[in-house]
Every structure is written in C-alpha cells, then in structure tokens.
C-alpha cells in the first residue's frame, strides 16, 4: 500500500505549534520558500491563540529582506490577536523597510506617546527621521531631520545602553559634523560590542557590523573592513540585515568622501566586506515564490 509523502512544513504549521515556535526561535536556517509554505499552511484559529507565531515569523521575514510579506503576517496577527506591542513594532519596521517611513513614524510616535520607551520604539522612530533626512531635497530640512534622528537615537541609547541605538547616534552625530561627540559614542559602543562578543548567545552578525560602523566613524579603515568582512562571512540568508548594515556604511563613506575627497579613503575597499557580501547573497536569493 502506497502512502503520499507528508510535507513536514505544512504538518508543522497546521498541527504542532510548539515545534513551530521552536523552529522559528532556533538559529537553524530555513529557506524562504519553506517559510512561505509554512505561512500558507497556517491554521488561523490556532495561530490566533499564539501571538508569538506571528511575531517570530514576521521577524524571520524581515531578516530575509521580505518586508511586504512580514507586513502581511503582522496585519493578520493584529487583526486576530488584537493590539500587541511587538506586533505593532514589527508593523512599523515592515513599513519603514518597504519605504513607507511616514506611516511607520506614525506607529512609533503613537507607541512613544503611550510611554513605550524601549530601544526598539525609540530607535525605529529615529530611523523614520533618518529616512526623511535622506529624502529631503532642502538642506535645512535635511539637517532638521538629522537632528531629530540624532536626539531620538541617543535617547534610546541612554535609556537602554543598547549598541544599536548607540552606533546610530554616533553615525547621526558624524553626519551633523559633530565629530568629537561621534567619536566618543563610537568608542563606548566599541567597548560594549567587544564585551558582548565574549558571550556566544549574542548575535555576532550585528556585533561585527556595529564594530565595523564604529571603526568607520573613527576613520579606522582597515579595522572597519575586517569587521565588515566577518559580518559578511556569517550573513547567510540575512538579506534585510545586510541591506540595513550596508546602508549606514554607505552614509559614512559618503560623508568621509565629502570631507576628504578621495584622500586616505577608498570607497571600493573600506566597508567592502559587507557591501560585497550583500551583493553576493542578493544574487543567490530566490526570485520566485513556489
């Protein structure tokens, strides 16, 4: 007697929620196509009783560089589960990464008004100001948004002592030509990241990328390239994270090129580890959803 082959992903999505959560929480790499099949096979009634299924899958989709799919996941989660702080944050992140910074800013402004003053909320609100600065044609408006981003990032850092908001505060300070303050912040973040590297459970990709960014802030070119290379080496399937890291590296490289011309700086080599890694990973990325 022949039996049809059972799809383990569909079986997992439909029946075994505890195993599903273990999979989504684990460092195990799951192909994008398998994540899509898992999403399509979900049992809405079961998932509605477990908000973590939505948050963890949305986080995976964001790491994959798929903010539109992440937005769909979060939207259903909010509809079925109701107001949930983490789902609202992920909705804002998905919108920001999709280019809808204004709508994202509204979400994070509301969360801040509700006194959710965690690093994610303040940092992502700052990111929406940074996006506005990057798109501003008027130099005065650009500087005004950069100042708002710098304040929000630094507030997030002072409240949380988190390296993500801290390194962004340093980068914004540099873009505002506050080089001494940027260097002080970058030095603090470097120490935080080096301490964190001693603990295996920490996310080494972001620690390496942040150390690379701190080195760029302080013009440590060879050190920056080495840290970015290490980040690129462990970045498999983290298309969204690579893009975010690459984006700030480009901002810093452009700033120093404007300050020095091409003296003492090669935009094709400094920070090239993360840029080349992103390009290589992007070429290997699935272009269709089966």
Output the CA angle 40-42-47, nearest 5 degrees.
145
pLDDT beyond 70 at 268: no
State the Rg of the chain over Cα.
Answer: 20
What's the average model confidence in pLDDT over 29-33?
84
pLDDT beyond 90 at 274: no
- Higher per-residue pLDDT: 217 or 3: 217
Read off the pLDDT of residues 144-186 as tens digits, 9 standing for 90 and up: 999 999 999 999 999 999 999 999 999 999 999 999 999 999 9
Quote the pLDDT of residue 86: 96
Tokens of 58: 């949305």
Least confident of 57-66, 113-122, 214-223, 234-243: 234-243
**Where do we find the tokens 């390009």?**
279
> Are 149 and 139 within 8 A, CB to CB?
no
Of all residues in the chain, what percent carry a pLDDT higher than 90? 63
Extended beta strands in 116-211, E state: none
Residue 214 DSSP one-character state: H
Read off the pLDDT of residues 215-251 as tens digits, 9 standing for 90 and up: 999 999 999 999 999 998 888 778 888 888 998 999 9
Q: Identify which of 149, 192, 193 has the alpha carbon closest to the alpha carbon of residue 172.
A: 149
What's the average model confidence in pLDDT over 130-143?
95
pLDDT beyond 60 at 192: yes
Quote the pLDDT of residue 290: 31
Q: Taking each helix axis from N to C terminus, what angle separates 51-63 and 239-260, rounded to the nearest 10 degrees?
A: 40
What's the average model confidence in pLDDT over 120-146?
96
Please report, in angstroms and rounded to a whole number, the separation of the first and last CA atoms in the chain: 30
Q: What is the distance between the alpha carbons of residues 3 and 57, in angstroms, rounded to a whole number?
A: 31
Output the CA angle 211-283-234, nearest 5 degrees.
30
- Give the 3-state secondary structure of residue 3: coil
- Model pTM above 0.85: no
Quote the pLDDT of residue 24: 87
Q: Which residues contact 131 (CB under 8 A, 6 or more apart)?
A: 96, 101
pLDDT beyond 90 at 284: no
- Average pLDDT of every residue of the chain: 86
Please give the C-alpha separations between residue 104 and each of 189, 205, 256, in angstroms, as whole numbers.
Answer: 27, 25, 30
Q: What is the distance between the alpha carbons of residues 195 and 163, in angstroms, rounded to a whole number?
A: 11
Per-position DSSP letters for 119-182, written without gaps between them: HHHHHHHHHHHHHHHHH--SHHHHHHHHHHHHHHHHHHHHHH--HHHHHHHHHHHHHTT-HHHH
Q: Identify which of 262, 222, 234, 227 has the alpha carbon closest to the alpha carbon of residue 248.
A: 227
Q: What is the dihedral of CA 152, 111, 52, 91, to 10 degrees?
A: -80
């Amino acid at each position: 007697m022949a039996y049809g082959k059972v799809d383990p992903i569909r079986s997992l999505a439909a029946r075994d929620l505890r195993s599903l959560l273990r999979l989504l929480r684990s460092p195990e790499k799951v192909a994008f196509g398998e994540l899509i099949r898992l999403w399509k096979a979900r049992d809405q009634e079961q998932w509605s009783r477990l908000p973590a299924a939505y948050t963890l899958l949305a986080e995976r989709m964001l790491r994959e560089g798929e903010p539109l799919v992440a937005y769909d996941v979060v939207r259903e989660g909010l509809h079925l589960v109701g107001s949930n702080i983490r789902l609202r944050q992920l909705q804002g992140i998905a919108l920001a990464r999709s280019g809808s910074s204004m709508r994202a800013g509204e979400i994070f402004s509301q969360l801040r008004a509700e006194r959710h003053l965690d690093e994610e909320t303040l940092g992502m609100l700052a990111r929406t100001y940074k996006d506005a600065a990057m798109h501003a044609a008027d130099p005065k408006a650009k500087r005004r948004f950069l100042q708002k981003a710098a304040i929000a990032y630094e507030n997030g850092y002072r409240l949380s002592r988190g390296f993500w908001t801290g390194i962004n505060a340093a980068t914004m300070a540099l873009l505002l030509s506050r080089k001494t303050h940027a260097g002080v912040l970058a030095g603090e973040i470097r120490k935080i990241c080096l301490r964190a590297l001693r603990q295996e459970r920490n996310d080494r990709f972001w620690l390496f990328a942040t150390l690379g960014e701190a080195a760029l802030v302080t013009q440590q070119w060879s050190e920056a390239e080495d840290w970015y290379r290490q980040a690129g080496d462990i970045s498999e399937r983290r298309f969204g994270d690579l893009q975010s890291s690459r984006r700030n590296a480009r901002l810093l490289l452009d700033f120093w090129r404007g300050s020095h011309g091409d003296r003492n700086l090669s935009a094709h080599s400094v920070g090239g580890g993360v840029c080349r890694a992103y390009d290589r990973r992007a070429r290997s990325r699935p272009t269709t959803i089966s």
